[in-house]
Amino acid sequence: MQRCHTGLCLSVYIITFVLGFPANVLAFYTFCKKVRQKPRPIDILLLNLTISDLLFLIFLPFKMQEAMDDMLWKMPYVLCPLSGFVFYMTIYNSTFFLTAVSVERYLGVAFPIQHTLKRRPIYAVAASIFFWIFSILNLSIVYIVPLISPDHSHQNPTSHQNVSATPAPVEQRKVCYENFTEAQLNVLLPVRLELCIVLFCIPFLICCFCYINFIKILSKLKHIDNRRRNRAIGMALGTLLVFALCFGPYNVSHIVGFIQWKSPNWRDKALLCSTFNACLDPIIFYLSSSAVRGTVGSMLKGAKTRLNRFISWPAFCSMGGGNSESSKERGSSTNTI
C-alpha cells in the first residue's frame, strides 16, 4: 500500500488550499461578471476552468483528513469514491480547458480576421459541456473498479504490495482506492494508460503546438508594444510549464504502472504535483485576462486606501484632541479677562 508522508502531503494540500481557494474565488467572481456583461469564448473557458479548480479545492479537505489519518479512510466510506472521482476528474478536466484556451489564443493571432468573424460564445459553451461529460465518463472508472469481483483463479499469492490476494470487505474499507486485486488491476491499468494518452498526451501536444506558434507569431509582430508581447509570451510559457510539471509526473506513473503491471510506489507523490495546479492556474488567469488584472488592481488600490486611512487616523485624532484643548484654553483665558 502506498504511504504518502503525512507532513509532505498536508503541507502541499494546505498550501494549495490557502493560496488557491481565495484566488479562484476572485477569478470566479471576475469571470461571472465578465460573462454576464459581454460573453467571450476565452472568458467562458476560463470560467469553467475556475469552476473545476474550485470543485477540486472544495473536496481537498477530504484528502487532508486522509493524510492526517496516515492514509487510512476513517470517514464514511461513501465519501471515498465521491472524493476520488471529483479529485481525478477535475485534474483531467483542467487539461482540456487549458488546451482549449491555448487553441483560442493561437487562432486569435494566427487568423485574426477569420477567427473574429466566426467566433461565437455558443461554441465555447458546447466545448465546455463536451469536456465535462467526457471527463466524467472516463473517470467513472473510480466507481467501477471497486465493484469488480476478485478472480481467485488468476490471483498470485505472492502479489505486489498494492495487490491484495484475498481482500475482505472490511480491509478494503480501511483504505481508499488502493489494495487492488489482480482482476481490478486488469481493468484499471489499461484504463490509466488510456487516460494518459487521451486526457494528457494529446492535449499537451496540441497545447505545445498552439503556444509555440503563438510565440513565433507574436515575436514577428511589430505593432505590439513590448510589455503586452512579453506578458503574452510569459503566459504561454507559464501554461506549458504548469502543464508539464503538474500533470506530467502523475501521467508518467500510468505508463510505468502499465509496464510493470502495478502502481509505482512514487505515484502518490507524483499526484501531489497535480494538486499544485489549483493554485497555479490563477497566475495564468492574471496573465491572460485583463478583467482579472483589473479586479486585482482595484482590490489592491482599495486595500491601500483603507491602510492609509488606518495609519492616518491616530494622527488625525491627536490633532483633533490638540485643537480641542487649544480652544478650551482660549475660552478659559477669555473668561478670565
Helix (H, G, I), strand (E, B) or coil at 295: helix
> Does 320 fall in a domain?
no
Reply yes or no on whether the pLDDT at 330 is more than 50: no
pLDDT of residue 315: 54
> Are the beta carbons of 259 and 196 closer than 8 angstroms?
no
> Does 146 fall in a domain?
yes
**How confident is the model over 181-185, as a mean pLDDT?**
88
Structural domains of the chain, count: 1
> Does 1 fall in a domain?
no
> Does 225 fall in a domain?
yes
End-to-end alpha carbon distance in the chain: 94
Helix (H, G, I), strand (E, B) or coil at 178: coil
> Does 332 fall in a domain?
no
> Does 324 fall in a domain?
no
**235-258: string of b/e by CB count within 10 Å (b at 16+)?**
bbebbbebbeebbebbbbbbeebb
Q: Whole-angstrom Cα distance, residue 134 to residue 203?
A: 13
Arithmetic mean of pLDDT over the chain: 82
What's 177's DSSP letter?
S
Grid cell for residue 207: 497545447
> Does 325 fall in a domain?
no
How does pLDDT run across 36-89, given as a tens digit for each residue?
Answer: 988 899 989 999 999 999 999 999 999 999 888 888 888 988 888 899 999 999
**How confident is the model over 182-193, as a mean pLDDT?**
91
Q: Whole-angstrom Cα distance, residue 174 to residue 166?
A: 14
**How confident is the model over 309-329, as a mean pLDDT?**
56
Residue numbers of the domain that contains 79: 6-288
What's 247's DSSP letter?
I
pLDDT of residue 125: 95
Reply yes or no on whether the pLDDT at 177 is more than 90: no
If we measure between CA atoms, which residue out of 208, 188, 189 comes closest to residue 248?
208
CATH (domain of 250): 1.20.1070.10
Q: Whole-angstrom Cα distance, residue 334 to residue 311?
A: 36
Reply yes or no on whether the pLDDT at 162 is more than 60: no
Q: Whole-angstrom Cα distance, residue 20 to residue 17?
A: 5
Reply yes or no on whether the pLDDT at 1 is more than 70: no
Residues in a beta bridge with 180: 163
CA 249: distance to chain centroid? 16
How does pLDDT run across 217-231, given as a tens digit for each residue?
Answer: 988 887 778 888 888
**How confident is the model over 243-250, as a mean pLDDT?**
92
